[in-house]
Amino acid sequence: MRPKNKHQPPEMWHKHVKIVDWIAPKLEFILLKFMLILAKYLPQIVIDKVMPLILGKPTKFPVHQVFPYENTLKFLDALEKIDIPIWIGTCICRRARNMYCEKGEGYNVTDMVIGDYGVQYSKYHPDAFQRITYPQAKKYIKKFYEAGLVQTIFNECPGRDTQAIICNCDRDVCVPMYCYRKTGFQSFYKSPYKIIQIAENCQGCKECISVCPVGARSWNDTISTIKIDHDKCIGCGLCRNTCKNDAIQLKRDKNQNFVVIEEYQD
């Protein structure tokens, strides 16, 4: 059953959606280059005001938001039921920064474009995107998550639930992640989950520190435990995936002032 979206997007999206579909596959890498410049000079307070106007505000369908692995799978399950086609291709951020993931060639083809987006991207980049099945997509998602890539779900036109992009972001290559980690410039919405640390289970291996894509975890020598910067944490869940001692949990953040793909939440 298709997720319901009771909140209608601005009328401008309906009028110009074909323009957006045409621009995205052709010029997205240029927009990402521009983002690198904005991250250096534009105050975050301005971004906080402008981002909802550009991306829209998340309601029941994400516009550009981080999600843990389980939620990404639920999202794919829902789309598979309504038989929306899916493609996988080279991450546009690689082209924008002229960089490649150091994990290997298999971690550069990571962008999953779904529905209308997939039609446009495969049309303009036929050699870079290939059609895949949903079982294949789920295997890729698991592989990327275990390799430490951050999963975000993106939709340039809020309210259109027949298209989406699932980005599997390398923290060193992905433009939004790089900008956030280096300058604090945030162009995405954080996960609707908060990290909970179970101190008595922590063995002090510090593996969760190295896997955190945004540097939100550190070691407190005074009390010999992990310190979490919750303001910086994006709730991706990679630290939890790394922990072998069940010292990290994800908890739904009920204090958020918006609801995100509620149908896929636990």
Domain with CATH 3.30.70.20 in the chain: 194-252
The larger pLDDT score, comparing residue 203 to residue 33, is at: 203
- Residue 259 pLDDT level (bands cut at 50, 70, 90): very low
Worst-scoring range by mean pLDDT, 69-73, 101-105, 140-144, 169-173? 101-105
Give the list of residues 6+ apart from residue 164 with CB closer than 8 angstroms, or none. Answer: 62, 75, 79, 113, 114, 115, 117, 153, 154, 155
Q: Work out the angle between the directed axes of helices 116-124 and 11-41 (0-180°, nearest 10).
A: 60
Per-residue pLDDT at 6: 40
Quick one: DSSP state of residue 105? G
Alpha helices in the chain (DSSP H): 11-41, 44-55, 69-81, 92-97, 116-124, 134-146, 175-183, 207-211, 238-242
Residue 176 has pLDDT above 60, yes or no: yes
In 3-state terms, what secondary structure has residue 219?
A: strand
Tokens 């250096």 belong to: 40
User: CB–CB of 160/11 below 8 Å?
Assistant: no
The tens digit of pLDDT for each residue in 197-237 reads 998 999 989 999 999 999 999 998 877 789 999 999 999 99
Domain spanning 194-252 has what CATH number?
3.30.70.20
The tens digit of pLDDT for each residue in 154-170 reads 875 555 556 788 999 99
Mean model confidence pLDDT for the chain: 77
**Of all residues in the chain, what percent carry a pLDDT higher than 70?**
68
Per-residue pLDDT at 147: 92
Residue 91 has pLDDT above 90, yes or no: no
Per-residue pLDDT at 189: 84
Residue 263 has pLDDT above 60, yes or no: no
Per-residue pLDDT at 265: 46
The tens digit of pLDDT for each residue in 34-80 reads 666 565 656 666 656 555 555 555 444 456 789 999 989 988 988 88
> What mean pLDDT do residues 135-158 have?
88
The larger pLDDT score, comparing residue 188 to residue 60, is at: 188
